Amino acid sequence: MRASDLSHHVSKWFDGSGPGADIVISSRIRLARNLAGYEFLPCLTTRRQAEVMEKLTKALLSLELGEAVFFIDVDASSALEQDVLVERHLISRQHARSKGPRGAVIAPSESFTAMINEEDHLRIQVFKTGLQLRECWQQIDRIDSCIEEKVDYAFDPGYGYLTACPTNVGTGIRVSVMVHLPALKMTGQIDKFFNAARDSDLMVRGLFGEGTEAVGDFFQVSNQVTLGVSEEQIVDEFVDLIVPKITQYEAMAREVLLNQQSDAVDDKIQRALGVLRSARLISSQEALFLLSHVRLGINLGRVDGISIDAVNELFMLTQPAHLQMNSGGALDADHRDAMRAKMIRSKLCVN
């Protein structure tokens, strides 16, 4: 299985089918682990990096997840293949553009992915659609134990799991939800969300695009503290406190839009749809921005005849690397913009 086999469809975690997925797109838990007896990256020699990869790949490929996981040699992959994996959140941009022996082990459903020799020797992730953090935790905890039966993790009785960066030490856990907050953005209340997140020691990043910018009103909210609290405590705080608060903010903002600014919100939604159905050239940033409004429109019941599936598919497949992979190779920006516009029209236009 290769990146090109994944690039034709939407990742399961983004399909909008999970609980509360009109606001909480997906849940993700990541664990950072390192092998005992090996230096942290980047102090690891290439030869020893290859040894780490061999050991971990073997352990990961023997996992029994109900589907056969597959290995991708990231170092041997083309830039386009790497970018497809990045756009699907299966590997990090840092992992894609790094050097030396490194790989990924991925479940075809994309509910599980592991990066080998990224910042740590091993980073495993479980994704689920909607708010399913407890389910993510149960699954990743089981996977982690299975791996630990086959390899020796670097572990300190005082600190817990040891990691390359001290911010991950202890549990090595990162719990995150991807949320869609277009109404908070439209009503000018997004700062309220940012402030509340900062006060709770949460990190907020954009879901799509490079860096931390949040294109299309998608945000990734994650914990920053990994030491001194148990994994269950972190998950419970997300499920019982943080996510309900974010969801409530956004839901209230949607109510305000519907009840007090229905002309303005319909205008934004319909214009977005009008431009998507008409444009002959469209950048990925603009497409995300407009699709975000259409997604809101569908969730508010203000758009007829377009499924959330169609919109989710466009979110994912109009990304630059997906677009190029699915059209057979590298394209310059102008051609990508033309092809993206064509794909969107064919998906959203009636005729």
Distance CA 15, CA 346 (A): 20
Name which of 25 and 294 has its Cβ closer to its own copies: 294
Which C-beta is closer to its own copies: that of 62 or that of 278? 278
**Minimum distance from CB of 302 to its own copies (Å)?**
10
CB closer to its own copies out of 151 and 275 = 275
**Beta strands at 218-223 and 173-180: parallel, antiparallel or unpaired:** antiparallel
Instruction: Please tell me the count of residues contacting its own copies according to CB under 8 A.
Output: 17
Nearer to its own copies, 210 or 263 (CB): 263
Task: Name residues contacting its own copies, limited to 250-289 (CB under 8 A).
Answer: 263-264, 266-267, 270-271, 273-275, 277-281
CB of 272 to its own copies, least distance (A): 8
Rounded to 5°, the CA angle 73-77-79 comes to: 145
Per the DSSP assignment, residues forming a β-bridge with 177 are 27, 221
Binding mask 109-148 for its own copies (x = CB under 8 A): ----------------------------------------
CB of 274 to its own copies, least distance (A): 3
x/- letters, 289..328, toward its own copies (CB under 8 A) = ----------------------------------------
- Minimum CB–partner distance for residue 338 and its own copies (Å): 6
- Of 153 and 289, the one with the shorter C-beta distance to its own copies is 289
Q: Tell me how far, at minimum, the Cβ of 5 lies from its own copies, in Å.
A: 31
**Of 80, 236, 338, 347, which lies in the binding site for its own copies, with binding defined by CB under 8 A?**
338
Residue of 113, 54, 104 whose CA lies nearest to 96: 104
How far is the C-alpha of 2 from the C-alpha of 90, rounded, in Å? 12
Q: Is the dihedral of CA 230, 236, 239, 243 positive or negative?
A: negative
Q: Tell me whether residue 47 or residue 280 sits nearer to its own copies (CB atom).
A: 280
92 vs 270 by CB, closer to its own copies? 270
Using CA atoms, how far apart are residues 15 and 4, in angstroms rounded to an integer?
19
Nearest one of 91, 86, 121 to 104, comparing CA atoms: 91
Q: List C-alpha distances in Å: 92 to 83, 98, 125, 262.
A: 9, 10, 11, 39
- CA-wise closest residue to 26 among 17, 15, 13: 13
Cα radius of gyration rounded to whole Å, the chain:
21
> String of b and e for 189-207 (b: at least 16 CB within 10 Å)?
bbeebeeebeeeebebebb
CB of 269 to its own copies, least distance (A): 9
CA dist 250 and 4 (Å) reads: 36
Site residues (vs its own copies, CB under 8 A)? 263-264, 266-267, 270-271, 273-275, 277-281, 334, 338, 341
